[in-house]
Structure 1
Amino acid sequence: MRILILTHRVPFPQNGGYPIVVGNTIKGLIAQGHQVSLISINVKNQSDKVHEPDALLSKISYTEYAIDTRLTAVEFVSNLFTKNPYNIDKYYNAGFEKLLVQNLKDNAYDIIQLEGLFVAPYLDAIRKSTRAKVIYRAHNIEHLVWKRLARQKGDPVKKWYLNQLARRVKRYELEMLAQFDGIVAFTPQDEDAIRSYGISLPVQVLPIGIDLAMYRPVTEKTEPTSLFFLGSLDWLPNREGIEWFLDNFHKEIVDGELKVKFYLAGNAIPEDFDEYEVPGKVFIQGEVDDALEFVNSKSVMIVPMLTGGGMRVKIVEGMAMQKCIISTALGAEGINFADGKNIMIANDADEFYHAITRCMADEEHCRTIGRNARLLVEQQHDVQAVTQGLLSFYATII
């Protein structure tokens, strides 16, 4: 089968949720003997770090096209009076569309898979250029992310703006979803949301798949009584969640009863987060060279998600690394967890505090949760089994 995957960002290096999902999908399809092409929008890179070329590139046909997604103040204001939301419109580029159309004319694909809503503006051009079936993978229900963000805001102006954006994204999202040949969702909750809007297309729920051979925990290298968060802070739900955690627990970690060290790592951490750093207590590390080595070196992962949607790649990876994870129920959405067995669920500051103190007081309890988490991932998140489910879904669509 010849498959084209379209992304709104370059998935290399695979150091965040979206790149990891795309990269593992491609690896799974190649392992099953299929030909994969990848076309990616390359937006302005915020990191000056130089990465080695990914080995996956030698196994696929890969094309990227640079566009500038920044909006001027005039464009931002004028977009408020147009139909489509600015955060989606900014990914449309006539030059990229021309490149995509030419690629479709030069290649006979069986399946074209759009990874998320931000490449949906190219659906009309795709339909005009090929007879291939077009699949949409819903990394989350986009308008619900903005709606949940609005609920968390106390500032009435910000709340109004985010609600306006959520309504516009919803209108666009529902209009686009109905035009695909099939939809892949990561969680049953997202499938339920899609169905609740009257969309009758075929929908397949497939969890995040990972290559378990890459995840080799070495417990002897793990620092005891250490908490960590790993994630990109250019995604608003991540930033909001970690700000909430630091606002509630920074003083307790530095001067209070929580005898732990806290490490914050990931991409796009704002400079003002340096103010949280306290020698020997709170460490703001930024982007790390080896994410799995970093995860292995710390004992307890926190996922204080207050908004967002879809399935969190970092939780699946943390489970694969036998981490004890403390997460909100929303953060663990879509994962078949059992609270207290393979994860610890905490939905407010008091519950987070009690979960952290339990972990620090009972290391064996944490290790047991980590071992159970690894078993869950082995049973439900192996990339080859997930890929086979994806291919079976393709077969029903073609």
Structure 2
Amino acid sequence: VAQYGRQAVEHPAWGVDRPALIFDDHNCEYLLQKRNAMTDLRTPARWPAALYSLVQWRKLVRYERAICQTANAVAAVSDADRQALLQLDGAANIHIVSNGINMDEYPVHPAAKAEARLLFTGKMDYRPNIDAVLWFCRHVLPLIQRQFPSATFQIVGMNPHPRLDEIRHMPGVEITGAVASIQPYMQAATVYVIPLRVGGGTRFKALEAMASGKAIVSTRLGVEGIPVQHEQELLLADTPTEFAAAVMRLLQDNATSTRLAAQLGQSARAFAAAHYDWQQITPLFEDMYAQLQPRTMR
């Protein structure tokens, strides 16, 4: 959609009174394609996809630079995205305006730990999500199921990609496809996992899980742009062994594990309410609009 806004404000009919243009960059797309390429290059079978991402990466560098140079203001969802966009245009007027969430829509319902139910949500034809669940099922879930044989992993989200067929019949794995609401799944989950290895922006799935008061295990990239801390609002892990160990800490049938899961969930929800509820985010948009300045066309 951004190209239409740019074309509109650059139309010669405006003369010197062109309207202001705000570029709301919910993802730094060139950075996302760069990460896609770097991930796919590790696997020869994925080299065609890596080549596609390399081409898109170069195109998006030019495209996002042009939009930033035209816009009076740019809204980035994290400081990481802001820094990436500044590399394209150091003079861009970039504000950090994070994704927001309506906390009232996410009631807290403690899950029954005995079920050992793991959950991932997201649009399942999106490459970072596909990579995440494949990595988790191939390398992490088997480690968990050695100690917790009944552990299940629910993948909830629309448009499951054919690449997911290889895990569809793995023990304990359920791919739901589109659902009317993620709330029943979120409420039933013992641990919410974010095994993302590719991505950009801030992950709305992380905000949903935090708002729901879930115990979360994530890669560091999975919560990039959200200034949470390990052992405070969630557990962080980047290798299969570390990730499995973190999940199993939360599945143990003892008081220490129960207390940790409850503390993480409560802290995560409090953090989301303090920083990502729309009541906190809306004033940031208002400040950005109030500070709009003319920008010389380049």
Tell me the TM-score normalized by structure 1. 0.66
Counterpart of 2:147 (choices 229, 252, 257) is: 257
Which runs of 5 or more residues in structure 1 are unaligned?
A: 1-117
Q: 2:184 aligns with which of 287, 290, 293?
A: 293
Which whole-Å CA distance do the structure 2 matches of 1:305 and 1:333 have between them? 10
Question: What is the aligned counterpart of 2:22 among 135, 140, 146?
Answer: 135
Structure 1 residue corresponding to 2:235, chosen from 331, 344, 348: 344
Structure 1 residue 161: Cα displacement: 3.5
Question: Does 1:150 find its partner at 2:41?
Answer: no
Shift of 1:313: 0.6
- Considering Cα pairs closer than 8 Å and 6+ residues apart, tell me whether 1 or 2 has the greater RCO: 2
2:265 matched to which residue of 1? 370
Q: Is the 8 A contact 2:69 2:89 kept in 1?
A: no
Percent of aligned positions that are identical: 25
Shift in alpha-carbon separation, 1:124–1:282, aligned structure 2, 3 A:
same
* Residue identity matched to 1:266: G
Query: What is residue 102 of structure 2 aligned with on the other side?
Result: 211
The structure whose residues are more often helix, as a share, is 2
Q: How far is 1:176 from its partner?
A: 2.0
CA-CA distance at 1:273 after TM superposition: 3.1
1:383 corresponding residue in structure 2: 278
SS of equivalent residue, structure 1 residue 219: coil
In structure 2, distance between residues paired with 1:185 and 1:316: 16
In 1, the alpha carbon distance for the partners of 2:89 and 2:170 equals 54
Aligned residues: 280
- 2-side partners of 1:274 and 1:219: how far apart? 31
Deviation at 1:223, TM superposition (A): 6.9
Whole-angstrom CA distance in 1 between matches of 2:84 and 2:162: 37
Among 291, 306, 309, which residue is 2:200 paired with? Answer: 309
CA offsets 1:275-329 (integer angstroms, 9 cap, x no match): 5345972221111221123211212111111111100011011101001111111
Root-mean-square deviation over aligned CA pairs: 2.2
Contact 2:216 2:235 in 1 (8 A): yes
Q: Which residue of 2 aligns with 1:194?
A: 85
**Amino acid aligned to 1:389:** L
Asked if the contact 1:301/1:325 (under 8 Å) is kept, the reply is yes
Report matched runs for 1:276-287 at 5 Å.
Answer: 276-278=167-169, 281-287=172-178
- Gaps of at least 5 residues in structure 2 are 294-298
More strand by share: 1
CA contact (8 A) 1:177 1:199 kept: no
| Structure 1 contact 222–297 (Cα < 8 Å) conserved | no
The DSSP-based 3-state class of the residue aligned with 2:3 is: helix
With the length of structure 2 as denominator, give the TM-score of the two structures. 0.86
- Give the Cα separation in 2 of the matches to 1:310 and 1:272: 24
Query: AA paired with 1:303?
Result: I
Shift of 1:231: 0.4
SS in 1 for 2:222: coil
